[in-house]
Every structure is written in structure tokens, then in C-alpha cells.
Amino acid sequence: MVRRIIFIIALSAGCIGLQAQEERSTVNITTTAVPFLRISPDARSGGMGDAGIALSPDANSGFYNLAKTPFAKDRIAIGATYTPWLKDVADGMYLATLAGYYQLRDGQGLSASLRYFSAGDIDLVDYNGNKLQSARPREFAIDLGYSRKLSEKFGIAAALRYIHSNLASGQMNGVNYKAGTAVAGDLSVYFNGLNDKDRGWTAGLSLSNLGSKIGYTDDADSKDFLPANLGIGAAYREAWDDDNKMTFALDLNKSLVPKIPANPEEIPAYRKKGVVESWFNSFGNEAWQVSFGGEYAYKQQLYLRLGYSSKTYSYGNWQYVTAGAGVQFGKATVNFSWFIPAGDKVGRNPLANTIRFGVLFGWPDQ
């Protein structure tokens, strides 16, 4: 039953979720638990096709590449984002985030963030369609991170994450369900190649959600993989003058979770794989996502954005175009982004027309 809930939540997160074993197909499919961790939570990156690994740093950098924060112009920053999720399909489904950092002296930084995902109200049914009970799935993740400059061009960072996933509770069909918990970490690297005129290349690499499995019963063999991911990004900024700047960003993400075996007899061995073993076995999957976007900035006060993202069949087979804008008011910047539908009926993203809202606050060093 919990796997059916994971399937619903995974669809809402832009991934293909876990189904019962007898429902598995023979295609190269990669699935995980807590897929909300792979939702792009920033309205700025959301307007650029979800590209964010090498963008200029802000309060939401920890969701993409924490190693950027020592290079931020603001010493202190806080950001919040709210995203109604599949509002035309389910009531009360949304993702909310809160993040921030504090730069220490000597090019070091501390950061923290919170992600909260609500799947609304869901009726649990058995295989005959009979209602068992109602559930209110809720998930959240809390991060603490440390970053520092290695030089004027390179930075590194590490973050620790606590994950809590409450999909269902109580006994159903003779199985006792409970909330799942897990611990994971991120490692990231950032290269800052901007010159004195604010032109040049930036790049980054991020290993995210490297941690334990998560389970919802007492059965140790029923635990699921976290959405471990390898992300590589690059961005180029062109400054025509002090008032007009253009940034292009490209991200490539690869799931570090092994594909589901096509042979049902191999499922037990798949579920018993260790976490580290699974990372190395993941190179056989076809779960990739490519994101590309552009941002035009006028006087660092008005921002216009456009982007495109594509996922392989194994990762959801969705393609979408995004647009966004931002306006700065003093120490605050308000951003929003919009999912524009693209692709055929099969590949059409069910999140089309979703809008993200975000606000960033920054305080420079005095």
C-alpha cells in the first residue's frame, strides 16, 4: 500500500514512482523513495529549466551546489519558496522551502535549509478498490552545511541531511506501517572564473542524497533507495555594460540509483543491494536530465528568464519549457517561474502551468 502512495507522490515530483512488483514493466526504469528531494525548489532556477549548479550564489544555493556560498556578495542571505503542486489534480499538495547561509571570516560559510512536501489528502484502497482509510502524506528534510574557499577560484562544501517521510501509519492488510527516516549527505565543488568585469565561466559538481535507505515497515528487505544524484553544471556570463548582463546555464544530472530488474526473480537481490554498491551499479541505468536556461539582468533589479529541461524515458520522459522573472526591491528580490507545456501527449509534463513563488533577502558585509 505504501508503494502505491510512493507512486502517487513520485508522479507529483516529476519522476516515475514505485509500483507493486507484479506491475513492473520490462523497460529500463529507475525509481526511488522521497522523490521530493529532486524537485527544483528555487523559483529562479525554475525559470531557467531547473538549471542551478553553476548559477551565481544566493540563499538557495544549498539546494544545487553549496560550494557557491563563499563567493556570494551578501554575507547573510535568507530565501523562501512556495510551489502549489498539481493543484488541478489534488488539493493541498505543495512544496515549501526555507534556506539561508552566514559567511564566516576567511572564506568560510555555514548554511541551513528546510524542505517540506505535502501530498494533500489521499484515500488508501486495497486491490479491489475498497477504501481502507484516509492518509495525509507529509515529508520534510533538514540540512546543515559547511562551505569554504580553497582559493579565489575554487570552493568546496559538505552538507548533512535528515529526512522524515510519513506516508501512512497503522496496520493495513496485516502490515504495520510507520514513518520512514534516513540520513544523507551532499558533497560539492565550485569554480568561479568571473573576471573583474563580471564576465566569464563558472562551473560546479554536486553529489547529493548519498545516504542510507529508507523503509516504512519493520522488514529490512523492503527499504528503498534515496534519490542519489550526480550533477554537473556550467554557466557563462556576459556583461555588455554595468546595466546589462546575460547568463547562460547548462546542467546535466545522472541518477545514482540502479535500474529495476526486468526479471521479477531478480527483484529480491535488487532490494538487498547495499547503498555504496548501488551507486556503482547505477551506471547501467538511463536516468538522465538535461537542463538549459538563460537569464537577462537589467541593473541587477529586473530579471527575465527562459529555460528548457528534458528527462529520459527512464526518468519520467517529460520535456518542458519554463519562463520566469524577478524584481529586486532594496534587500529583497521576488522571483516567480512558470512551467510551459511541451512535447506530445505522452511526454507532456503534468506540472504544466505550475507557478513557483520565491523571495530572497541579502545583507552585504558592513
**On the CB side of 318, how many CA atoms lie within 13 Å of its CA?**
20
Of 144-148, 314-318, 320-324, where does mean pLDDT reach its minimum? Answer: 314-318
Instruction: Give how far Cα 103 sits from Cα of 6, 77, 197, Å.
Output: 38, 9, 23
Give residue 87's Cα distance to chain centre: 19
Residue 7 has pLDDT above 60, yes or no: no
Residue 264, pLDDT score: 81
Give the DSSP per-residue string, 88-135.
TT-TTEEEEEEEEEEEETTTEEEEEEEEEEEE--EEEE-TT--EEEEE
Domains of the chain: 2-364 (2.40.160.40)
Grade residue 132 by pLDDT with cuts at 50, 70 and 90: low
Q: Name residues whose C-beta falls within 8 Å of residue 81's C-beta, 6 or more positions apart in sequence.
A: 41, 42, 43, 60, 95, 96, 97, 356, 357, 358, 359
**Residue 56 CB coordination number (10 Å):** 21
Residue 302 has pLDDT above 80, yes or no: yes
**Residue 261 CB coordination number (10 Å):** 15
In degrees, rounded to 5, the angle at the alpha carbon of residue 127 between the alpha carbons of residues 122 and 133 is 35
**3-state secondary structure (DSSP) of residue 237:** strand
**Residue 137 CB coordination number (10 Å):** 21
**On the CB side of 77, how many CA atoms lie within 13 Å of its CA?**
28
pLDDT in tens, 179-203: 999 999 999 999 999 998 889 999 9
Residue 17, pLDDT score: 37
Average pLDDT (128-153) is 86
Residue whose C-alpha is closest to residue 217's, from 167, 251, 258: 167
Average pLDDT (48-58) is 96
d(CA 306, CA 57): 19
d(CA 307, CA 354): 14
pLDDT in tens, 65-103: 999 999 999 999 999 999 987 765 666 789 999 999 999
Of 32-36, 118-122, 325-329, where does mean pLDDT reach its minimum? Answer: 118-122
Residue 290, pLDDT score: 97
Residue 124, pLDDT score: 64
Question: What's the pTM value of the predicted model, to 2 decimals?
Answer: 0.88
